[in-house]
Amino acid sequence: MSKDPHNNELKKAWKLNERKKLIDSIPISHENLRDLFNHLDRGGIECDHTLKETIEFLKSRNLDASKVVPWLNEYGGFCDCEVIYNVDEKFGEIVGR
């Protein structure tokens, strides 16, 4: 049984639309998000199960933590290491990491 080409096109369009939604959801520039991932993934830092490093980074860039933190939480970033393990996994490629 052959696959319906129309279904394949619909699936492809849906995937592109979902990726666009992800991209549009990012509350800071791609460069800042990539830099945050790199900052948190620099090694030698033990996670204290807070977003201390993330918030310090956001403040250093004059970025609004009250907008970024809920977004990070939405994608599983409830502490610094989860930002790397969960958010970077989903958005790292999008921001060029």
User: Which residues, other chains included, contact 54 with Cβ-Cβ below 8 Å and sequence gap of 6+?
Assistant: 36, 40, 68, 69, 72, 77, 80, 83
pTM, entire model: 0.85
pLDDT digits (tens, 9 = 90+) for 67-85: 999 999 999 999 999 999 9
Question: In which band, very low, low, confident or very high, does the pLDDT at 9 lie, cut at 50, 70 and 90?
Answer: confident
Q: What percent of the chain has pLDDT over 70?
A: 98
For position 1, what pLDDT does the model report? 52
The continuous run of DSSP H or E covering 23 comes out as helix 5-25
Query: Is the Cβ–Cβ distance between 23 and 96 less than 8 Å?
Result: no
Q: Where are the domains of the chain?
A: 5-91
